[in-house]
Every structure is written in C-alpha cells, then in structure tokens.
Amino acid sequence: MKASPLDLLTGFMVLVTVIALVASVDVNRETVCVRGERGKALVLDVPEDRTIVLRYTHSVRQTVTIETYHIERGAIVLRSVKMGDGASSALYDEGMSFMDGGAVRIEGLNVRLGGLKLRVGDVGRPVLTIGNTQIDLSDVFGLGEGVEIRLGGCA
C-alpha cells in the first residue's frame, strides 16, 4: 500500500514536532523538588549561586534560625547555621562557632545530605529561599505537613 501525500506530510509534521520537543529539553537543567507528604510538589530551578536558605523559628530555643546550604555534586551541603537575631558577622573561621551580637554562628560546615526532611510547625513557620524565590512552607503545604527537599524532579 502506497502512502498518500497527506500521510507523508502528517508523518513529517509529527517528526518535526518530536525533534523540536527533544531539542527544547535542557539536559543540564538542575532542579530542586519540594514535596509535601500529601503529594503537593514544587519544582524549582537551581539558582546560579547554588544556594538554598532555610529560615525558621527554633521550637525549643524560640530564636530565628538560618541554615545555609550549597548544592554540590549531586548533594545538598549544609555550610552554616545562625541562631539568634544578632547582626551578621564578618568573621569566617573554618568550622568555628562564635557569638555575634546575640547570635550564635557555626561556619565552615561541610555536611553532605541527600535531602532535607522537616515538619511544618506553628512555631517554626519555615521559609525556604532558592534563588529569588521565597516559599513560606506553612502557606504552601499547611501546618503539620511533612516536607522533603531534594535535588531533581518530583516525578
């Protein structure tokens, strides 16, 4: 059976569409998945500075805590923790902790993690910053929700 010109044209258009779709996929695109235990998920691009910041109120100490992570070679790496409301420090002693205007800072960390798991609490009210995107996890996922943050898509 010989194909009609219309069949050939349709086949050609399908082939062009598939090639265009494949060419538009950025194989080097890195993403962060933020997924709640009830299935709601966000996929965000890894920012140029490769930094993730998690800010929350510590449930025991009742102080603002800021954890700074860096994305390196397929892992989320904890680099620093700041507890308290003091001003930021200009000191960066490798692996040292110190007081800074009422805050305790721990710098020079290199704790490699496959991902982060946390529970969104009424006290903690965690806010995740990835690039220029700030996500109030309480607003997005709701209080009491377990949330996992990891590299890659959410499929």
Q: Is residue 22 a part of any domain in this protein?
A: no
Q: Is residue 146 a part of any domain in this protein?
A: yes
Q: Is residue 120 a part of any domain in this protein?
A: yes
pLDDT at residue 7 is higher than 90: no
pLDDT at 1: 61
Cα distance between residue 86 and residue 96, in whole Å: 17
pLDDT at 73: 85
Q: Is residue 20 a part of any domain in this protein?
A: no
Helix (H, G, I), strand (E, B) or coil at 87: coil
Residue 12: other Cβ atoms inside 10 A: 10
pLDDT at 110: 92
- Segment 8-29 mean pLDDT: 51
Helix (H, G, I), strand (E, B) or coil at 60: coil
Domain residue limits at 140: 29-151
Residue 147: other Cβ atoms inside 10 A: 23
Cα distance between residue 71 and residue 91, in whole Å: 23
Q: Is residue 61 a part of any domain in this protein?
A: yes
Return the percentage of the chain with pLDDT > 90, whole number: 48
Q: Is residue 6 a part of any domain in this protein?
A: no
Number of domains comprising the chain? 1
Q: Is residue 7 a part of any domain in this protein?
A: no
- Segment 18-25 mean pLDDT: 46
**92-117 pLDDT, tens digit each:** 344 545 555 667 888 899 999 999 99
**32-83 pLDDT, tens digit each:** 999 999 999 999 998 889 999 999 998 777 788 999 999 998 899 999 998 8
Q: Is residue 44 a part of any domain in this protein?
A: yes
